[in-house]
Amino acid sequence: MVKTDWLLVILLGLVFLSLEGAEGRKERILGGSPYELAYSAINCRKHSASIKDFGGIGDGKTLNTKAFQKAVNQLSKYASDGGAQLVIPAGHWLTGSFNLTSHFTLFLHKDAVLLASQEINQWPVIDPLPSYGHGRDAPGGRYISLIFGTNLTDVIITGENGTIDGQGALWWQQFHMNKLKYTRPYLIELMHSNKIQISNLTLLNSPSWNIHPVYSSNIIIQGITILAPVTSPNTDGIDPDSCTNIKLEDSYIVSGDDCVAVKSGWDEYGIKYGKPTSHLIIKRLTCISPYSAAIALGSEMSGGIQDVRIQDITAIQTESGIRIKTGVGRGGYVKDIYVKGMKLHTMKWVFWMTGNYGSHADTHWDPKALPEIKGINYRDVVAENVSMAGQLDGISGDPFTGICMSNVTIGLAKKSKKNPWVCTNIEGISSSVQPPPCKLLADQGPKKSGMCDFPTESLPIDSIEMQRCSYRLNL
């Protein structure tokens, strides 16, 4: 008797447990399981929805372009009522390009993957940028980016390190074969926008540049991982372009082009448009880019680049640390650049300035439009296994001036060049730089090793307060 009772209890228990399991599963299938979400953002949202609410299917095969467009359209109605958040749950969400809206957050679950469609008709063609006059790959228009927004305010793209996969291999192949009529798309482009946050995401295999904020202000980019094959064409990491008040931090980039490229328009188009990139902070960036720079300034800099503060940069197997790229016809300026703290390993050049970078928009560039390169400060740099310490080439009749280098220790590779420094048409000063730099960087003696400027006053972007947003959702 006692035995049977026990059996009954166990049997009933098992039935109960399995029922509960079925209930749990059913709830999840019906979209009922609560999900806790918490993150820091420039703004929290009053309304929240899932891409599934708009017919999205995360099976990696169904095209969701319409679902994304419908979601953003519907949620844009909440812009003046506390804003809205679109959550992308776990799954593979194939989609063509879609546009964002104001007072809006796109949030990617940690196991969410946005997969860029490889059908070219999913990528409408838009006008070239006015400050470029042309597409970057080809004259005329350009394919719109996967995630695009223009004339927006208060827009957030974030997640728990969810993934946006550009599936770029097809584009790279078509580009190499010269088969594309228009310029390749970017992964994320925001134009004419104010108050932008892009954070905690992984971006894979962009067709071209990864993140391109342009003609925008008050931008925070943080916690981004960008991965692309080191041989993929023009897969720049992050390209702030004619933007002001930007903070870019805590990011890890492996790419086939510059990890960060600071820009402001191209030749006569950029000069005419006249919109500089200014007040930019780049902090705690790790870069691997064997054929390009950790941070490039230019080559498109015709609207000017001013007040860039670069701190705590790590680069490994990267062609150069900081590179200034410009040329006759660019006009514009690169000035008040401050670099403090770089750790570099296995580099071709630590310092590189190029005054004869070609790559013109067209043949109408003005040969009298000379760039002004002035006030470039580098301090506290340690580099190992370097082929050339510096190649600094200004422009004849237009020297690059006010270059300052202090507290720099460069360990040369076994197979390094005989002359670790080559300098032409530049002027500046140095202190405690090893190996001893070229004569054009006049040595001020070892006591001045802390001499190169780095601003101590903060920028407005530093005082933006992040809010803690938390949601309990049914995904």
Ligand X SMILES: *[C@@H]1O[C@H](CO)[C@@H](O)[C@H](O)[C@H]1NC(C)=O
Q: Is 449 in the site for ligand X (CB under 6 A)?
A: yes
Q: Is 382 in the site for ligand X (CB under 6 A)?
A: yes
165 included as an active-site residue: no
Q: Is 416 in the site for ligand X (CB under 6 A)?
A: no
Smallest separation (angstroms) from ligand X to the CB of 416: 9
Q: What span, in angstroms and rounded, lies between the C-alpha atoms of 102 and 239?
A: 22
Smallest separation (angstroms) from ligand X to the CB of 190: 11
Q: Please give the residues from 267 up to 286 whose contact with ligand X meets the rule CB under 6 A.
A: none
**By the 8 A CB rule, do 106 and 89 touch?**
no
Q: What span, in angstroms and rounded, lies between the C-alpha atoms of 267 and 134?
A: 11
Choosing from 257, 258, 336, 380, the catalytic residue is 257
Counting residues that bind ligand X (by CB under 6 A) gives 26
> For residue 246, which phi and psi values (nearest 5 degrees)?
-130, 140
Q: Is 176 in the site for ligand X (CB under 6 A)?
A: no
Q: Please give the residues from 33 up to 62 whose contact with ligand X meets the rule CB under 6 A.
A: 39
Strands in 205-290 per DSSP E: 211-214, 217-227, 244-254, 260-262, 277-288
DSSP codes, 12-53: HHHHHHHHHHHHHHHHHHTT--EEEEEEEES---SEEEEGGG
Stretch that binds ligand X, among 9-17, 86-94, 165-173, 377-385 (CB under 6 A): 377-385
Q: Is 369 in the site for ligand X (CB under 6 A)?
A: no
Contact flags string 4-23 toward ligand X, x per CB under 6 A:
--------------------
Q: What span, in angstroms and rounded, lies between the C-alpha atoms of 370 and 334?
A: 11
Q: Is 225 in the site for ligand X (CB under 6 A)?
A: yes
- 459: phi > 0 → left, psi -120 to 50 → alpha, else beta; which? beta
Q: Is 385 in the site for ligand X (CB under 6 A)?
A: yes
Who contacts 330 (Cβ-Cβ below 8 Å, separation ≥6)? 266, 267, 270, 298, 299, 300, 301, 302, 365, 369, 371
Stretch that binds ligand X, among 28-36, 52-60, 147-155, 253-261 (CB under 6 A): 147-155
Q: Is 161 in the site for ligand X (CB under 6 A)?
A: yes
Provide the CA 235 distance to its chain's centre, in angstroms.
Answer: 10
Stretch that binds ligand X, among 221-229, 289-297, 418-426, 436-444 (CB under 6 A): 221-229
- At 467, the amino acid letter reads Q
Q: Is 467 in the site for ligand X (CB under 6 A)?
A: no
Select the residue whose beta carbon is closest to ligand X and give its number.
223
Three-point CA angle 389, 395, 401, nearest 5°: 70
Q: How many residues does the chain have?
A: 475
Q: Is 407 in the site for ligand X (CB under 6 A)?
A: yes
Contact flags string 230-269 toward ligand X, x per CB under 6 A:
--------------------x-------------------
Q: Is 434 in the site for ligand X (CB under 6 A)?
A: no
The residue within the footprint of ligand X, chosen from 82, 450, 455, 460 (CB under 6 A), is 450
Beta bridge partner(s), residue 92: 59, 113
The tokens describing 437, both together, are: 């730099």
Q: Look at residue 65 and give its three-state secondary structure.
A: helix
Q: Is 151 in the site for ligand X (CB under 6 A)?
A: yes
Q: Is 200 in the site for ligand X (CB under 6 A)?
A: yes
Q: Which residues bind to ligand X, rule: CB under 6 A?
A: 39, 69, 99, 124, 126, 148, 150-151, 160-161, 192, 200, 202, 222-223, 225, 250, 346, 380, 382, 385, 387, 407, 413, 449-450
Instruction: Write out the catalytic residue numbers.
Output: 257
